[in-house]
Amino acid sequence: MNKGAGCILGIETSCDETAAAVIKTDKNNKVELLSNVVATSLSLHAKTGGIIPEVAAREQVKFIIPVIEEAMRVLQNPKEEIDAIAVTVGPGLIGSLLVGVETARTFAYVWNKPIIPVNHLFGHIYANWLTTANKQLITTNSKDSQKLVVSSQKPVIEFPAIALVVSGGHTDLVLMKNHRNIKWLGGTRDDAAGEAFDKTGRLLGLPYPAGPQIELLAKNVKEDIYHFPRPLVGSDDFDFSFSGLKTAVLREVQKHEQLSNEAIANICYSLQEAVFEVLIKKTFKAAKEFNAKSILLGGGVTANQTLRKRFELEVRSQQSEVKLFVPTKSLCTDNAAMIAAAAYFNHEATDWRNISANPELYFD
């Protein structure tokens, strides 16, 4: 989209969340977050121990219009005030993506607005361009639906930057020389970091998604008793591999007739240690190699307080000049504000006829 003052309506439905947000931009590239609404069907997936794609998409069909309406409530005349509609076109679950994409196309057609197709992975990175100077969290109708009102100021992110996206579906390291020059350096060869948490959490009898539970249970543990493998930690590339952790945890689980709460907590701690050490080492290796001025984190796993602290400690211990950016917790997990921000800085507006969902979309 042409840089300048305006409002963007963002829509995100790539996985199990149904999200809409409105951002306002000015000529100085300041991005203000006016509304950010997320409805999740996680409680349904917790019952089944994972996402059933059709169930997720059916819920999104129910939520999408109320969520968009709620996000637009901050505007007096949305049809006049919104300049463009940004929507996640991939990667993600096809049924879920289609809900957002077709809704966005319909709004764009009826309101005669340009549409901005956005890569979800870029969204996680661009959450870093939304700061939360004046944060207010409002819970609306149910615990499944959250509204966050944030006023924001643009932080100073300098290039080159190394971005680490760690979510349930992805673990990727990316070099950003500027908004238009973004190069994928490496990623997971098998399971993503969040996926490793969710799968091992299942072995431990934890509800889906297991990441937040693992964080909670590991909180008071001090010792890395199990010292699980750190796959590819010293490899010459920027790749990751986390699928072996399932087997390592399974072996431990099988040694116990019944896992005590203490053993579960210790496994959670050791699991975090293994995953975080690899994520941190590889990210700093990339930062050093490419003389990065900034490190940007994004994706659901970066909501983890221990991981955030570890990154901060690493910056300090290396006495490095590199600046660390981590989105506020609620902007780490899936949301539409990050999609609108990515649309503004990185993606091009087009006609509603030209966009379609692409579940396989990647960085290149």
Nearer Cβ to ligand KG4, position 30 or 202? 202
Which range, of 4-12, 151-159, 232-240, 301-309, touches ligand KG4 by CB under 6 A? 301-309
**Separation CA 1–CA 31 (nearest Å):** 14
Residue 54 buriedness (CB in 10 A; 0-12 / 13-18 / 19+): exposed
Residue 239, contacted partner among Zn ion, ligand KG4, none, CB below 5-8 A by kind: none
Give the contact letters, 275-314, x = binds to Zn ion (CB under 5 A), - = no. ----------------------------------------
**Binding flags for ligand KG4, 215-254, as an x/- string (CB under 6 A):** x---------------------------------------
Q: What is the DSSP letter of 225?
A: -
Q: How many CA atoms lie within 13 A of 260 on its CB side?
A: 3
Three-state DSSP state, 137: strand
Gyration radius (Cα) of the chain, Å: 20
195 vs 334, beta carbon nearer Zn ion: 334
- DSSP 8-class letter at 334: S
- Closest Cα to residue 22, out of 134, 155, 147, 177? 147
Out of 87, 161, 303, 338, the only residue in the binding site for ligand KG4 (CB under 6 A) is 303
Distance separating alpha carbons of residues 341 and 356, to the nearest angstrom: 20
Region binding Zn ion by CB under 5 A among candidate stretches 219-227, 230-238, 284-292, 327-335: 327-335
Subset of residues 165 to 184 that bind Zn ion, contact rule: CB under 5 A: 167
Measure CA 326 to chain center. Answer: 11
> Locate tokens 């006829």: which residue?
353
Backbone angles phi, psi at 135, to 5 degrees: -95, 140
Which residues, at least 6 apart from 51, have a Cβ–Cβ distance to it below 8 Å? 15, 16, 45, 93, 208
When the beta carbons of 102 and 215 are compared against ligand KG4, the nearer one is: 215
Which residue from 97, 334, 340, 346 is in contact with ligand KG4, where contact means CB under 6 A? Answer: 334
Question: With CB cut-offs between 5 and 8 Å by kind, which of Zn ion, ligand KG4, none does residue 172 bind?
Answer: none
Q: Of the candidates 334, 346, 347, 357, which one interacts with Zn ion according to CB under 5 A?
A: 334
DSSP state, residue 355:
-
Measured from the CB atom, is 25 or 119 closer to ligand KG4?
A: 119
Q: Beta 17-25 vs 31-40: how paired, if at all?
A: antiparallel
In angstroms, give the least distance from the CB of 120 to Zn ion.
6
168 is an interface residue for ligand KG4 by CB under 6 A:
yes
- What end-to-end distance do the CA atoms of the chain give, in Å? 20
Residue 213 interacting partner from ligand KG4, Zn ion, none (CB closer than 5 to 8 Å by kind): none
Candidates 39-47, 53-61, 172-180, 206-214 — which segment interacts with ligand KG4 by CB under 6 A?
Answer: 206-214
Judged by the rule CB under 6 A, the positions of this chain that interact with ligand KG4 are 15, 167-169, 194, 197-198, 209-212, 215, 299-301, 303-304, 333-334
